[in-house]
Amino acid sequence: MLELLAPVGDLERLKVAVKYGADAVYFGGQNYSLRAYVGLTLDEIKEGVRYLKKSNRKAYITINIFPHNKDLEELPEYIKKVIDLGVDAVIVSDLGVFSIVKEIAPEIDVHISTQANTVNYLTANFWHRLGAKRIILARELSLKEIKEIRDKTPPSLELEAFVHGAMCISYSGRCLLSNYLTGRDANKGECAQPCRWKYYLMEEKRPGEYFPIEEDGRGTYILNSKDLCMIEYIPQLVEAGVTSFKIEGRNKSAYYVAVVTRAYRKAIDDYLEKGKDYVFDRSLLEEVGKASHRGFTTGFYFGRPGADAQNYESSKYIRTHDFVGIVKRYDPETRIAIVEQRNRMFVGDEVEVIGPKVQFKQKIEKMWDEEGREIEVAPHPQMIVKIPVVNPVEELYILRRESKNNV
């Protein structure tokens, strides 16, 4: 059975991931996770797990930092608390953390993080013998290498791989650049993403003279990888032995989670339905491109990436569409949607409404604020507005608009 695994940074994104087709989600708490600035409180984890169980979806929690001695003091108690909340698996990268998890809850599934850099079948088998349920493969593997790992490991060992999202310039994200340049430790979830910065060269004997690497003098983003996108290659991933398709992006918006999860859900379902007759729907590639990205690459899956996997001109995201609102409620009698604003929207705007299996365009003909006063613009972040819609909608449907800047 194939699993679509979506990223979660808060409870809203958790519900969006479920709504748009994720089979499982992964998230961190507010400690011990490699995304220090997004994380759920224990109460939120409890609520999220309850919601996932009700929806028959799975919850995986990341405890994947590389802890120093001082980090270990309160770790066992934290692990016990999150496991008691009912998560389905714990994601770890450190052997010490692995040992604590197994001591506290030997029955819990443990997934080995991509941070552990598993790139061969011997390592995968080692983790399996220790009791790991799943390996989250390093992003530096080709499909051919993954197939060999699959062939030389027990069927009971699950293989998970990233299929979409940001690529780290360092080996599976184990990076020292952020710590060195900013004092923020990427291996404890505080990455400042210096790989996206603009760089120049300086010659040793000419201090203060900066030499642009590009001829146009704008500098170069020599470490700025394009984003991974494997939506065109579902059959090849399955043939290689991948059963969990992981989307990167716990820091990304609810819009990103909705759009990307929705597109991969459609691609996977088409493949499962049609089998050998499967033909990729190219509109899905266009669809994932409507979420902000840095251009796309297939990473290492088809061999070592070349120069075209890097963006040497800019670290800006490509943004073709703006996320302008999310539906909170819908009144079928009046056909009015109650929408929470996420970007300024105006009467007269042409918007596109998307749901898990719904997509239509319409103009905003009228708009009212929460008190029922007619307004021309919704300028305030997260203000509640009422909008007539031409088709029925549901909670968590997304409103988007073509970006005027298109970047």
Domain containing 289 equals 3-171+224-309
* DSSP string computed for 316-365: PPB-SEEEEEEEEEEETTTTEEEEEESS-EETT-EEEEEETTEEEEEE--
For residue 283, being part of any structural domain is answered with: yes
- For the chain, first and last CA: distance in Å? 38
238 and 99: one domain? yes
Structural tokens at position 372:
């029922």
Residues 275 and 380 in one domain: no
In a domain, 121, yes or no: yes
Structure tokens at 271: 């493949």
Residue 406's CB is within 10 A of a number of other CB atoms, namely 9
Query: Do 343 and 291 reside in the same domain of the chain?
Result: no
Question: Quick check: is 181 in a domain?
Answer: no
Q: What average pLDDT is seen over the chain?
A: 89
Q: Are residues 250 and 392 in the same domain?
A: no
List the one residue out of 309, 140, 119 whose CA is nearest residue 223.
309
**pTM, two decimal places:** 0.86
């941070």: which residue's tokens? 115
Tell me how far CA of residue 313 lies from CA of 86, 194, 295, in angstroms: 46, 15, 12
Write the pLDDT tens digit of every residue in 127-183.
999 999 999 999 989 999 999 999 999 999 999 999 999 877 655 555 656 665 676
339-360: pLDDT as tens digits: 999 999 999 999 999 999 999 9
**293 in the same domain as 240:** yes
Supply 364's token pair: 């905003």
